Amino acid sequence: DGGITQSPKYLFRKEGQNVTLSCEQNLNHDAMYWYRQDPGQGLRLIYYSQIVNDFQKGDIAEGYSVSREKKESFPLTVTSAQKNPTAFYLCASSPEGLAKNIQYFGAGTRLSVL
């Protein structure tokens, strides 16, 4: 089945540790996105990528890093510089053309700090 797979579902980070959240899609979509959602809040854009080997900072990129070496993969690293990483992280992708503003989301990763 086509879709977006995020792993792990739950992740715990120790003080000073970098952690990487995985996002894989088999929808053949060009654009991919990472969002952060805090309890009772909306989605805030961390990074987005329109094509392979290219990505742009979103509204809250500080303390995060990404790579886009393959079309189907867009991993997010939460670095030790992100002092308040506890949140729900959502990965999404979207196709080109008329459906540009339709995003397909993964099931998300819940990150907590130990």
Partner 1 sequence: GQSLEQPSEVTAVEGAIVQINCTYQTSGFYGLSWYQQHDGGAPTFLSYNALDGLEETGRFSSFLSRSDSYGYLLLQELQMKDSASYFCAVLNSGGYQKVTFGTGTKLQVIP
How is residue 37 written in tokens? 């959602």
What strands, in cross-sheet order, belong to the sheet with 19-25?
A: 4-7, 19-25, 76-78, 64-66
61 near partner 1, judged by CB under 8 A: no
Query: Are the CB atoms for 90 and 32 separated by under 8 Å?
Result: no
Map residues 7-46 to x or -, x wherever contact with partner 1 holds by CB under 8 A: ------------------------x-x-x-----xxxxx-
Nearest alpha carbon to residue 25 among 90, 99, 110: 90
Stretch that binds partner 1, among 18-26, 68-76, 77-85, 92-100 (CB under 8 A): 92-100
Shortest Cβ distance from residue 28 to partner 1 (Å)? 16
- Which amino acid, residue 75? P
Nearest alpha carbon to residue 76 among 45, 114, 102, 42: 45
65 near partner 1, judged by CB under 8 A: no
Stretch that binds partner 1, among 10-18, 65-73, 79-87, 102-110 (CB under 8 A): 102-110
**Residue ranges in contact with partner 1 by CB under 8 A:** 31, 33, 35, 41-45, 48, 50, 56, 58-59, 90, 94, 98-108
